[in-house]
Amino acid sequence: MNGKIVMVTGATAGIGKMTALELARKGAHVVLVARNSQKADDVVAWIKQETGNDNVEALIGDLSSIEQTRGVAEAFKAKYNRLDVLVNNAGVIMFSYSETVDGFETTFGLNHLVGYFYLTHLLLDELKASAPARIVVVSSDAHYGGKINFDDLNLKDDYSSFKAYGQSKLMNVMFTYELARRLEGTGVTVNALHPGGVATNFGATNNNLNWFFRAVKRLTNPFLISEMDGAQTSIYLASSPEVEGITGQYFAKSKAKKSSGLSYDVDVQKRLWAVSEGLLGISEPVTE
């Protein structure tokens, strides 16, 4: 990974933090994306100290906001004209209905529409310029229970935190498959993954975190894998020569596996793509 430029979103905690650490340890120039500048500064300093790699920096922005996501991409482009690896990792689960500044349900807005789809769109030219380049999409096996409600993508009429999360993770997988098809011949690969059941603070900063989830976390955390173990498939897809040229796959434990049956529906993939472009006001195609 020496000399390669890598962006990792949601990199101040959990598997994103461990992914950034290990890619820096492998010699990559790592650009973290985070909302909180103090946390970002602390993590950058920690990674530098742990790895001896000074090529670690942070860009600050809320990836649930269209404007701030555009700002992150513009700040990156002002400094770099290439991007070897993009790790779409930032995610959230909300225990009551809330909306982003742009009016999207928060889980949908961050986990798919803006944080993954739009950021990737904004950085595609830099990824293509770096071919062979890679896009890593952190999804979850929660997608197996997911369905996409095109009549109410915000789930405003029938909100459930787990329904919203499952829908967003299914969107991640379907986005991966459609994007892989659109990037054929460009030298840019894209794969999705399930990190495993990880003992992280995921959701802990959510002020709406309910008592049930707190109780479940206390009971299950002793049986879950560590953040570093959970990051292994992300690290593998970002750096391993074994997956060079492999695209449009779903991985767990660093091995390809079948995703849900619904995730392979090409018509639904294309519909999700078109709807996502429309909601973001993208008039030009995201890819040729």
Q: Per-10-residue mean pLDDT for the chain, 288 residues long? A: 97 96 98 97 98 98 98 98 97 94 98 98 98 98 97 95 97 98 98 78 48 48 71 97 98 98 98 98 66
Phi/psi at 241 (5° precision): -65, -15
- Which pLDDT score is estimated for 225? 63
- Which pLDDT score is estimated for 200? 47
Judge whether 39 lies within some domain: yes
Judge whether 286 lies within some domain: no
CATH of the domain at 171: 3.40.50.720
- Which pLDDT score is estimated for 219? 46
The total number of structural domains in the chain stands at 1
- Which pLDDT score is estimated for 175? 98
Judge whether 288 lies within some domain: no
Q: Which residues are catalytic?
A: 165
Q: CA-to-CA distance for 253 and 233, rounded, in angstroms?
A: 6
The b-or-e profile of 255-271 (16+ CB within 10 A means b, else e) is eeeebbeebeeeebbee
Give me the domain span that covers residue 262. Answer: 5-280
Q: Check: CB of residue 262 under 8 Å from CB of residue 171.
A: no
Judge whether 147 lies within some domain: yes
Closest CA to 191 of 254, 146, 128, 129: 254
CA angle 211, 216, 222 (to 5 degrees): 140
- Which pLDDT score is estimated for 177? 98
Q: CA-to-CA distance for 176 and 41, rounded, in angstroms?
A: 31
Peptide linkage before 132 cis (omega within 30 of 0): yes
Judge whether 111 lies within some domain: yes
Judge whether 79 lies within some domain: yes
- Which pLDDT score is estimated for 283? 74
Judge whether 24 lies within some domain: yes
- Please tell me the pTM assigned to this model: 0.90
Judge whether 287 lies within some domain: no
User: E strand or H helix at 156, and its extent?
Assistant: none
- Which pLDDT score is estimated for 229? 87
- Which pLDDT score is estimated for 218? 52
- Which pLDDT score is estimated for 226? 84
Question: Identity (one letter) of the amino acid at 5?
Answer: I
